[in-house]
Structure 1
């Protein structure tokens, strides 16, 4: 999936160093000119060093300046207004296109940030655990429910808690070896951090989050890191892309788990389908 390097630059403006921010602004305002420039010419135009240009290129996902220009050239015909936040006077077709750009970027970035070996390790934990609990707050609760629904179709019975007291009461008494999964975009809610610290040692913990260096992630045995596009101090379309990234990450866990015992799980899915879509008795 192609990465939109202009969107990557725009959403990370606040995180760049002073020199990198000068490069970012110049690129956003002079895309076509940059395509014709050498690395020295761009460095001179931005009053910075060639090494900083290379570092900036790598920061936004390119392997170097040449690769950066290739990715930039692929966006020559892109309507730059699609990189802006949604406004009240836009027609529906424009809103569709803007969300599509963000969703594509979210999935592309998430594929990079989700570690394959960590996914495989968590799938092994799911397979050998006698009990599984999953919890999320706000929109993350929707992702937790999706996890339970998907794996429930394969014969597992994940417990979904709807408040912290309910979760603690269940988890401290669940069978071991067990697994507890917390879904949190920021990973900084004190309530969740305290919850994770109360989990018995015999139960492995997994955090699905956008922020792998958060205080919550530091308390977990395993961290699954997704990505979501967002612009600071704007409309919170990141809530939409964060939920999509969470659901996509859960899909990857589900299908990887499905692969590990394909014939058995295929039969379970078929049986579930026939039971729910078979002829109804009068």
Structure 2
């Protein structure tokens, strides 16, 4: 699956390629790499970097995925939205989910520093998560710039909470690999149970939402479930240690 979160943090050149592609899907389906480079006034190396940056394994794979995604504008309807909500409600009521939340809570309490990490839409959720945790007495910060200088000292004391709908955002994967090399623990909140980031995480909590991407736009997949997960563990932290707020 192509990761359109990556488009949000790409260079202006790559964004121009993306805009050209979604406006000319039928034409691009018959092109080679050189032809697309000529049409977008870039190089073949730039085209290769672009399609790999959004998760395509090859140019043919990229064209196939694009043609599937952009057969026409697609937006959620009420029935699909309600079905997604019902699926998540059932999942959130399971004992297995309670165990995941408990494991998440214990990891938070075992670390001195909490850092949320995400880019694009996920970056905005990361900022919300950091503020929410701080509100319940567990100070947290958010990194939303993939080029932000990495934390390299005391990382064994850091818990990194990664927000990634697809689990395949290249810039986030690169950052997480660096953090793992320095012994940080990683918690991943994601829409997919199998991804590159899943393989790197110490704990993964996944939810279910229909992936929505429309032409000339970015990812429109609902963020309701991941917000619930953040708030749920925040409430658990508060209920476990009310004394923190009472002492302020």
Q: TM-score range by the shorter chain?
A: 0.5 to 0.7
Matched, 1:204 2:177: no
In the alignment of these two chains, the number of paired residues is 173
Superposition pairs for residues 11-50 of structure 1, below 5 Å?
A: none
Which structure has the larger Rg over C-alpha atoms? 1
1:120 counterpart = 2:137 = no
Q: What RMSD, in angstroms, separates the aligned Cα atoms of the two structures? A: 3.2
What is residue 243 of structure 2 aligned with on the other side? 264
Matched, 1:184 2:191: no
Q: Equivalents in 2 of 1:191, 1:137: separation in Å? A: 9
Gaps of 5+ in 2: 1-73
Match in the other structure for 1:136? 118
1:153-208 CA-partner distances (Å, limit 9, x unpaired):
13332121121221x42x32355422011110111122221211101443211111
**Contact 1:135 1:162 (C-alpha < 8 Å) held by counterparts:** yes
| Residue aligned with 1:116, SS | helix
Assess, with a 3 A threshold, how the Cα gap between structure 1 residues 236 and 257 changes in structure 2: closer, same or farther.
farther
Q: 1:219 aligns with which of 176, 200, 203?
A: 200
Aligned-partner SS, 2:160: strand
Cα shift at 1:105? 2.9
Residues in 2 aligned to 1:99 and 1:237: alpha-carbon distance in whole angstroms: 20
Query: Between Structure 1 and Structure 2, which shows a larger proportion of helix residues?
Result: 1
1:79-134 Cα deviation digits (max 9, x unpaired): xxxxxx659xxxxxxx7x55862563353255268732222111111112111111
**Which one has more relative contact order, counting CA pairs under 8 Å at least 6 apart?**
2
**Which residues of 2 match residues 46-195 of structure 1 at below 5 A?**
97=78, 101-102=82-83, 104-105=85-86, 107-108=88-89, 110-111=91-92, 115-166=97-148, 168-169=149-150, 171-174=151-154, 176-195=156-175
- Find the counterpart in structure 1 of residue 13 from structure 2: none
Partner-residue secondary structure (3-state), 1:165:
coil
CA drift of 1:137 comes to 1.3
Please tell me whether the aligned partners of residues 118 and 224 of structure 1 are also in contact (alpha carbons under 8 angstroms): yes
